[in-house]
Amino acid sequence: MSKRLQGIVIGFLLGVLLTGSIAIGKVATQNIQVNYNNVKVYKDKQLTTLKDANGATIEPFIYNGTTYLPVRAVANLAGMDVTWDNATKSVYLWQNMRPSDSYYLVAVASPYDSKNCSIYDADEYFYMDNVAYHSGFRLWTSSGYAQYNLQNKYSTMEVTIGHTDYFDRSKTVTFLVDGRNVGTVSLPAGCKPQRYAVNLYNGQNLKISVSGAGEVGFGNIVVK
């Protein structure tokens, strides 16, 4: 990334994400008047169109002499990835850290700590609702857990979760990233396996634990 584009990214971080928050640390809602004046953005002398996460075109605006640009759109122009943590109202920019493709978790990381856990690689299978799954693990609900060091490389995980025994009993799955709860999945008695997406926030430590009675399967786990 060029120094000029780095300067653009750093410059707009202070105010672009929340239109009403223009001071560091300020938490408030206020009405402001902005000037839309057909502001154009060029990358390497090529005119670009800025879009949001849904693909809609976003027009930059001017407020109090400062031009405001959408953080995600401009960061993507700079070859960076963006994560928004709504709980802490924080923007994370990642450069040359996250893989662009999806990977099976078993191919990129092994649990460095686990209890009551059976691992299945790409050539090994277990069954949930008579369907075979691989690239995952099973946890016994007697305080079963698995911990992974993800090295801040991954933003999301997709996994199929379901009962592997004691189908008539409910179970609960908890996902912790760097000690913070990022998701809880309840498995009612008799429910079918479901595909879930978990926000990993590009964290380092992932801990998955279960509670209840019986086993829970985690199949075809993909991180990206």
Q: What local confidence, expressed as pLDDT, does residue 105 receive?
A: 93
Q: Beta-carbon neighbour count of residue 56 at 10 Å? A: 8
CA-based R_g, the chain, Å: 22
Question: 117 by DSSP, 3-state: which?
Answer: strand
How many whole angstroms separate alpha carbon 216 and alpha carbon 110? 18
Q: What is the pLDDT of residue 57?
A: 84
Residues 6+ positions from 197 with CB-CB distance below 8 Å: 156, 157, 158
What residues contact 89, with CB distance under 8 A and at least 6 apart? 18
The answer to pTM > 0.85 is: no
pLDDT at 12: 46
**By C-alpha distance, which of 216, 224, 179 is closest to 199?**
224
67: helix, coil or strand? strand
**What is the reported pLDDT for 14?**
37
Q: Which domains are delineated in the chain?
A: 3-95 (no CATH), 103-223 (2.60.120.1060)
pLDDT value at residue 53: 64
Q: What is the pLDDT along the chain (224 residues), one digit of tens a residue?
A: 444 444 444 444 434 443 333 345 667 788 888 898 889 888 878 888 887 766 778 889 998 989 988 887 787 777 666 666 666 677 777 655 445 578 999 999 999 999 999 999 988 999 999 999 999 999 998 789 999 999 999 999 999 999 999 999 999 999 999 999 999 999 999 999 999 999 999 999 999 999 999 999 999 999 99
Asked if residues 178 and 145 have their Cβ atoms less than 8 Å apart, the reply is no
Query: What's the confidence (pLDDT) of residue 84?
Result: 67
